Structure 1
């Protein structure tokens, strides 16, 4: 959502709305519309700057992403601790993230506009 690069579902964090906050949904079981974002602070910051959370979750007004940022920071610190034990893995994760950001929106096809015939066909399925 932030960098708009595609990734396999297990590499992403699902986010749902709870009140006026974006809440991470680690099990993928919370109610409501969900959106996916990379578990990277830069990607979350970019999503906030672009106001992507309210748009993707289809809610009015700004949303607080503090719980999502806290989870990602916790995951990052856990990876860094593991990275001290196995330095090669930390570099691989960084290289993979750089590759996703470099791909940017080039690999992401544009979604059909609301009310377009293509979108109506997709929704009928």
Structure 2
């Protein structure tokens, strides 16, 4: 009688499933500013981003310190921030659905403004 192991088959199926989920899940990437950056309060500071919204996403919102700052209709681009006060700030790019509700796909960076 032969003995077959099902584990390699299950492992391959789980790996394929995980890879598919990542591809379908989407991606949010803030390319600038980098985490921990120091921004100049007197400069026109920009957020550069790239998004793959996944199957449940429709478009993207930009948040500064948990407040919506902009609706971004492009999936890749740049947005010039309003003047930021000195001190620490959180900048987030979040994928939202057609009802403008965040779906959980996001990236945030913490910056300081001097």
TM-score range, shorter chain: under 0.3
Q: Which structure has more helix as a fraction of its residues? A: 1
**Radius of gyration: which is bigger?**
2
- Structure-2-length-normalised TM-score: 0.23
Q: Which structure has more strand as a fraction of its residues? A: 2
- Structure-1-length-normalised TM-score: 0.22
